[in-house]
Structure 1
Amino acid sequence: MPRGMSFGSRLLVSFLFVVVFALLGPALFLVGIVNDHVQLDAEATAARQLHLIHRLVSQLDSSSESDPFKTLSDVAKDFGVRILYEDTSRQALFDTAHPLADTTPEPPFSPPKSAIRTEFGNNQVTTWIMPEGRDEIVVAQSKFPGIQRLEPGIMTLTMPFSSLSGPLHEVAGTLFSVIGLSLCLGLGLSYVLTRRIRNSIREMIAVVEAIGQGRRNKRLKFYPGEEFGAMAKSINTMADNIEMHLRAVIEQKIQLEAILNGMREGVMVLDRKGRIAAINKATNRIFPSIHNNEMGKKPIEVVASPDLQAACDELYNKENNPPHVLTIEIEPETDRFFDVNLVKLKESEAGLGAILVFHDLSDFRKMEKMRRDFVANVSHELRTPLTSVKGYAETLLGEADTHPPHVRRFLEIILKNANHMSKMVEDLLCLARIENEKDEPTIARINAREALAGAWRECALQAKEKDIDVTIDLPDKGVPVMADFNQVSQVFRNLIENAIKYSPAGENVTISFHIVNATVIFRIQDSGPGIPEEDRERIFERFYRVERHRTKTSGGTGLGLAIAKHIIDRHGGRIWVEPAGQNCSGAAFLFSLPTASSLPDSKGSPLDPSLQS
């Protein structure tokens, strides 16, 4: 069928084909069967008539004056047939159709291979049907033994087949008339059924389109037992389910919008191409320049931060196997700081690419700056009076003979605490300088062993007073790293002082290193009471002390580990603490620094030979 035909036209044509083949096929088959029976009956009739004529002529008496040919002529006229009599050489002797003298001799009737042979006693009759002009004739032929007045020969009887097939044609005409009428009725019925089905389908299409356009209240009317009742019921059920799910999605969307708009943090949603798809109210409050018309732009077009755009590009870069979560800190405006969490969504999330959450750190940074400035100013102001207290105490202690013993003891306590306060002030000022980033590290290739030597010179006296052995497991040629020499030396000093302070007298402190990829990891291990697991995350906070085992130990400022952590963080390394080992109860402090390709020129003094492993 042509592709341009509608469904109703195709269905109508299909019905017509079915009706035509259902009626015309059996009719033609029936006509063919009846025609075969008529032909067989015509041949049987011709055979019986010829046999009857054969007997009639055979019974003519020799004394009778009857003429055999006249008898044949009378019988042919009565039966309405043609009789031809030929001698054994197939020469025509008599023909009822016309006189022999006026007729051109015709070829003899020769039976085909499909001819039917019928036995009547000693007489065998051969019958067949053959064409003659526009009509067909039935031929019956048999041999005649001859009588006294008629020599032996071949008798042939022919009769027109139309005389016998006329009733068949009438039956066929009636049958085809009935078929034509049935086709007309079938056409009308097919049209009615097709129109009904087409209207039902159109109604279904209209309802489905209405549901797709948002008119979810549209439903199909159906009655049980109709052609499309089950389909209409299924479409209505589908529409109900769609409405229910859509209502649930709308409710979830409203809830999500309420949650997002109730957040203090700004939320920005990016699509698969890394462009802004949605924002919440907090983002509008944080960045007033962002409006609804900013949708579809890159983050850098609305937030002036190259670092933010670089993080987004890294998140979307599939070639380098990017992480699913990134955290960066940006300063899009002066004194405005934000901690941004970037989360890459799964590929299955339709239309979405990533979510950015902005945490405003501006107030926190402002307060932190105020705190640092306050500590730095107070520490600076304390240096002068502390210097005076120390000077007066040392002067008074120099005149020990003039003071009673209890006065001397008081002066020693004053000097000890003044020294402790002075060291604390120096550590506070050092930490303030590091946090304010005024002392930028001078990164260069240095020998870590030489930095360790400088730190050891300041800790040797403390180790000697407690009889602490220090084992150095570093190669003699040194360990090349990329760092600031003075700051690395300060890290070593703080960690060694901490290890000596909390190790019992007569124990051992071990300093070692190992290299992982392009990073050197140094390890300072003591023999002290160790650090509980719950305190390891906070041990690097300023003034933090472990309650268990360490409250009895004094002399420290509580700032050494905090200073070490700030220095290592600024070098891009990492510092952490872990248990010393299975056979040791102490703690091991580790920190990492980037390795260097070669050692620089010698700098600083070597370690005391007695401490080298």
Structure 2
Amino acid sequence: MFKSIRFKSITIYFLLVFIAMVIVGVFIIQQFEQYHLGVVRGNLTQIANSVMKTLEEIDWQNNKEEIQKNIAPYEKMGMEIYVIEKNNDFTIISSTNLSYWNQNAMYILESDLILAAFHGEIKESDIVSQQEGQRSSKNMVFPLYDEHSRITGIIYLRQNLEDIYNTLDQSKFIITRATILALLITIILGYFIAKSITGPINDVTIKAEKMAKGDFDQVVEVKSDDEIGQLANMFNHLTARLKAVLQEISNEKKKMDTIINNMADGLIATTAEGKIIHANPVAIEMLKIDGKTLKKKSFDEVFLPLNNKLTLNYLSTQEKWYGNEIIDMQEGVKLRAKYAPIIREDDYLEGIVVLLQDVTEYEKLENMRKEFVANVSHELKTPLTTIKSYTETLLDGAMEDKGLATQFLGVVVSEADRMTRLVQDLLQLSNLDYKQGKWNKKEININDIVKSAVLKLEVSAKNKRQHFVHTSYDDEIYVFADKDKMEQVLLNILSNAIKYTAEEGKIEVQVQLKSSYVQIIIRDNGIGIPKEDLPRIFERFYRVDKARSREMGGTGLGLSIAKQIIEAHKGAIEIFSEEKKQGTRVVITLPTTNEGLALN
């Protein structure tokens, strides 16, 4: 009970009100006392000035009997006035209290005040009696001067303060009663206020316990907009969020099951003892085993016939149970089995996961890579062999025949140029593959690029008496592209058209706008490309007629480079052809930057 928030809240309210009432009460009493003492002081000062003025008028030193007449009326006001003459005995020569006449004032009144007054000071003191029967009073003294400003006596005034202090005592009693009443009200109000705070908290606690037991359909009633209301809102938000998270976890589980069951790779999970607990459809299909039959088998029973290394004993010898093995299946299918452990937080082996990947296509790509390396080696070896043989012939004496030497050196230069072109093409392909090439893309008019490429190759076409037909689009068509790279592509396609088109042949270049794309169509009536070669036409070093291509100085990389450049511009390049019929048609498609042009 004493540790509850309700008890602590009531205690805090009680202490706050108690301290506030004490501070206010003390302040009021002090101010009340100071005010009334100030009023008494003012009255005494006023009376003293009046008496002193009267005494000066009657020449009191020579008419002492007149003094009593002048101060007697003040007795009715509860005032005591003493006139003390300056002599060795400090004699009271007149007083409202007749019993003190002709007595020594030092023994009756406050001696320190008397002495101070005879030294020219106006002084006062408050005598507050705490004992019953004794009086509280305010005492003030004023010096009396003659015409030569000499002190001849003093006036001693005393005012009874009993009424004031009785009033103060009554005020204290009233404030005390008010404090007690306020504290009682505080306890009652504090109880209900604390209850209004702890009630919702208790409600939240009870419903939180129910949530801990699995009942998440808990809602706290929000009764206010304060912090308690915010707590209730936050609890309700937490409940809703928790339900959403649990639903999300359930959805994620379903999603994960969907991913596992529909992933391209096969997946098998086993216990630490090797019992198969899960296999997705792809794994079942890859292993050619019925799903129900598969789950009845152990890890060793499934994989040992496929690869004698895939056993639990072998896997346990591998570093941290990680590794992979190749499985040769029927019909040339190759599977890579990657295995990894399922480890709990306490480092206990809970099971094994095996990922089956069909690497048949990868093996084909690897073979293509090897073929590419072989082609590069061959393409480099051929000109090197030619250069070496011609150089050796020159060294063996052919240098003597100037005409023959010039011919041989021309062949060496030609082969060196061919090697240079090959290396440059390989370097450009490498940069395109790894996106290391420098691009200078900006808005360019595609008509200008096509026209520039046609003009550069017009002389080559005229040398073969070929007819160039160039049709530009009426309006300007802008693309965001690298001008030099685009011109390189066009020059490559056009030069191929010139090379493989007979003399007096026809080459057409046309620019068309299709929606938000521009098409550059290059058509010739040359020898064409066999249908079976079209799918591989963009492969590196692939040539339809290898001997003829080398004779014409080709490296076999031009179309591969062109395709990568166009795709880097978010475009496409297509080749349509059929041998010995209508020649070849190349279509380059690029996105434009002026889409509104198509609407016109």
TM range (shorter): 0.3 to 0.5
Higher relative contact order (CA 8 A, sep 6+): 1
Structure holding more helix per residue: 2
TM-score by length of 2: 0.44
